[in-house]
Each structure stands twice: as C-alpha cells, then as structure tokens.
Amino acid sequence: MSVDRYAVIGNPVAHSLSPRIHAMFAEITGQELEYFRLHSPTDGFDRSVTEFFDDGGQGLSVTAPFKSDAFRWVDQTDPLAQESAAVNTIARRNGRMVGYNTDGLGLVQDLRRLGWLAKEVKILILGAGGASGGILGPLMREECRVTVANRTESKLSNLKERFPNLSTVPLKQVEGQWDIVINATSAFLRKQSLNVNSSIMFNARCYDLGYQPDGLTSFVVESRRWSAREVSDGLGMLVFQAAEAFKFWRNVELDAEVLSKVLSSMRS
C-alpha cells in the first residue's frame, strides 16, 4: 500500500525546513507518510498543484510567493483563510480542496512562548502582502494595537477595507517607539534592503517571519545592530503553524511540550 503524500510548494523552496518538521511529527505520532519539497515556476502554480493532487497527493503547505494563488485555487476556505485572503495549507476533503491559514495561530503561539504578548502591546508590521494578511486578524483579536507599514500605499488601502480598525502608514514615514516590530516583507528573501527608519527597532522586540536554523536572518542581525531589546526569527511560528496543518491532515494533536522539543532540535 502506498503511503499518503504531502509537500511544501514554493519558489524558492530548497531552504524550507517543513519536510524536517513533518518527518519529526510523523515519527513522534507513529504516522506513516511522505513529505517533500515541490518547486513550482512562479507562473505555474495551478499546473503544479493540479498535478500533485491528480497524482494522489493528500495535502500541501504553501509558502511564498503562492499564498494568494492558493487562496484563489482552492474550492473552499476556512474563516481564517477567508479573512486573510491567503492560504498556507491545503487539504483534500471528500474530493474537494480546502484551504486553511494557520500562520496567524502559529505566530500568536510563538509570541506567547517568547512572553512578548500582552494586551494593548504596540505592534508594527512591515509589509502588506500575503504574509502580513495572514497574521493581522489573530493579532488584532489578542487586543494588540496593530499598525502596518508598507512601501506601496495602494496595498495599505486594500488592507484597511478588510480590517477597518487597522492603522496604516507609508514605510518611508514610519517612526516612533514600538513594543514589537514584525518583518513580513520579502525584501531579504529577494536580497534587497529594507529602506526604513532604523530608530523604530530601538528597544523593540523584533520578530522576523523568515527563519534560519541558527536564527540569524538578515532582519534579526539588522535589528540587533539597531539596538533591539530582543530578537527572534520565525522558526517557532513555522513549527506551530505546521502542527496546526498536521492536525487538519492527520487528525492528531501535538502538545506544547512535544512542540518545544521539536523546536529545540531544529536549532541543532
């Protein structure tokens, strides 16, 4: 009998640690499955996912730059995906393709683990693309005061239509003191610099949605240089969002202690 097949689709995807995480989840819970990386041309998302599911694939994790494409492609979405207009997890359910967004839940769980989250905390999110859309709703429901800064102003007005209570500011004009600054841009992934007033990092807790095994993403390094109070990459969020996906696919829940062991072993 063939085992159930899962994959992470992205471009680039070679750096993705999702296969390692899901292999560990499968081992811990005694599930038999296969999980691999699926590189897709940027203009070939529909063809790549259709082939994958036609070949019997059971579920996909979706990473940059395809979260909006995945939202458009699925037959049905859960409320979090609907709210964020982005999908990071696809599951086959009774022949229909269902899209979820587990990014926001993953981030909130990781900010709690770090002890950074509190009511009324002032959060600045840099970037207004798919990654940013996925985390806004869950953060705002934690009663945080969220502002989004972006280079292209039209994307800010789109976000404001979906989240009327959101504050927005053009990236070039952002200043002031923040409790938490989150990098949700793809600037560093594209090997570009982020032209932002560096004083916003001063004394802030800086979190990068991107990750590296050693934790030292370009944003983490930059924010340390600009006297951040604490820094973190997004490896914790990756592990927590993967656990949510695993639950949808396999109907198995992983507890906090197991997840924290997975996270520490990913650092080694």
Q: Contact residues for ligand ATR (CB under 6 A)?
A: 64-65, 67, 127-132, 150-152, 155, 171, 185-187, 190, 192, 194
R_g (Cα) of the chain, nearest Å: 18
C-beta of 150 vs 232, nearer to ligand ATR: 150
Residue tagged active-site, from 67, 119, 160, 261: 67
Which residues, at least 6 apart from 174, have a Cβ–Cβ distance to it below 8 Å?
124, 126, 147, 149, 196, 197, 200
Question: Which sign does the torsion angle of CA 57, 133, 114, 102 carry?
Answer: negative
Q: Are 121 and 138 in contact (CB under 8 A)?
A: no
| Least distance to ligand ATR, CB of residue 10, Å | 10
| Least distance to ligand ATR, CB of residue 194, Å | 5
- The token pair at 191 is 């090997």
Question: Which sign does the torsion angle of CA 19, 21, 25, 28 carry?
Answer: positive
67: annotated active-site residue: yes
Question: Which sign does the torsion angle of CA 28, 217, 209, 207 carry?
Answer: positive
- The token pair at 120 is 């009324």
Phi, psi of 76 (to 5 degrees): -155, 150
C-beta of 24 vs 220, nearer to ligand ATR: 220
C-beta of 174 vs 259, nearer to ligand ATR: 174
| Least distance to ligand ATR, CB of residue 54, Å | 26
| Least distance to ligand ATR, CB of residue 252, Å | 28
Q: Are 45 and 229 in contact (CB under 8 A)?
A: no
C-beta of 132 vs 232, nearer to ligand ATR: 132
Closest CB to ligand ATR: residue number? 129
Provide the annotated active-site residues: 67
